Amino acid sequence: MIQKKLANATMFDLKTGLSKEETTKQRRLSDMAKMFNDTEALQAKIEAGNDSLVYEYYELDLPKTDGDIQYGTSIVYPGTVGGEYYMTKGHFHKILETGEVYFCISGEGYMLMENPEGEWEIEKLVPGRAVQVPPRYAHRSINTGKEPLVTFFAFRADAGHDYGTIETKGYRKLVVEKDGKPEIIDNPKWQQ
């Protein structure tokens, strides 16, 4: 009898977060045009030929029904742009009521979250710590350490990604390096 393949299984390295079996989607500084607050510092780095990899993540080829779970790892590399730590773009889910779970495997940083009602939350990511992003909250992971920040995530597979709101309005808060330590500040460019 031929066993029907029901579950998708993948190996991820616990230090690097990478999988030998799959390819990542990568975002470099040049893909982050509207994301970092200091657009001039970003432009200067790119023009100096320093288009470094900011983060990569997996989008496994899984079915996208409401009953399926999309999962994978996300790896944010260490670095700053104009004092702002390297981070993911961040997004709302198109199905806004969808939450997501992140489990930190390696590195350190924060999960920054905000909802359309104006509430915001920030949770520390350290190895072994799990964070649930509640429904309605946009979420962005930020690497405040010196090593790659590796998280494992899982969410309802049909939730979708809405980047437009973040690109136009930005986040209410930024996480910047001040005297070598992370500090949460108001985003001076945030638009109502």
Ligand X SMILES: O=P(O)(O)OC[C@H]1O[C@H](O)[C@H](O)[C@@H](O)[C@@H]1O
Q: Does residue number 93 form part of the binding site for ligand X (CB under 6 A)? A: no
Which residue lies nearer to ligand X by CB, 124 or 161?
Answer: 161
* Helix, strand, or coil (residue 99): coil
Per-residue DSSP letter, 50: -
Residue 143 binding: pick among ligand X, Fe ion, none (C-beta 5-8 Å cut-off by kind) = none
Q: Of residues 100-119, which lie at the interface with Fe ion (CB under 5 A)? A: 100
Q: Does residue number 37 form part of the binding site for ligand X (CB under 6 A)? A: no
* Exposed / middle / buried, residue 65 (Cβ in 10 Å: 0-12, 13-18, 19+): exposed
Sole window of 2-10, 32-40, 86-94, 122-130 interacting with ligand X (rule: CB under 6 A) = 86-94
* Helix, strand, or coil (residue 168): helix
Q: Does residue number 45 form part of the binding site for ligand X (CB under 6 A)? A: no
Q: Rounded to an integer, what distance in angstroms lies between the CA atom of residue 159 and that of residue 175?
A: 27
Q: Does residue number 91 form part of the binding site for ligand X (CB under 6 A)? A: yes
CB of 90 to ligand X, least distance (A): 5
Q: Does residue number 74 form part of the binding site for ligand X (CB under 6 A)? A: yes
Which residue lies nearer to ligand X by CB, 45 or 171?
Answer: 171
Residue 88 binding: pick among ligand X, Fe ion, none (C-beta 5-8 Å cut-off by kind) = ligand X
* Helix, strand, or coil (residue 176): strand
Residue 57 binding: pick among ligand X, Fe ion, none (C-beta 5-8 Å cut-off by kind) = ligand X
CB of 4 to ligand X, least distance (A): 28
Walk across the sheet containing 69-76 and list its strands. 25-28, 53-57, 69-76, 149-156, 100-106, 130-133
Which residue lies nearer to ligand X by CB, 161 or 178?
Answer: 161
Q: Rounded to an integer, what distance in angstroms lies between the CA atom of residue 2 and that of residue 7?
A: 15
> Position of tokens 């040049």?
30
**Residue 162 CB coordination number (10 Å):** 15
Which residues of this protein are in contact with Fe ion, per CB under 5 A? 100
Which residues make up the interface to ligand X (CB under 6 A)?
A: 57, 74, 88-91, 100, 153, 161
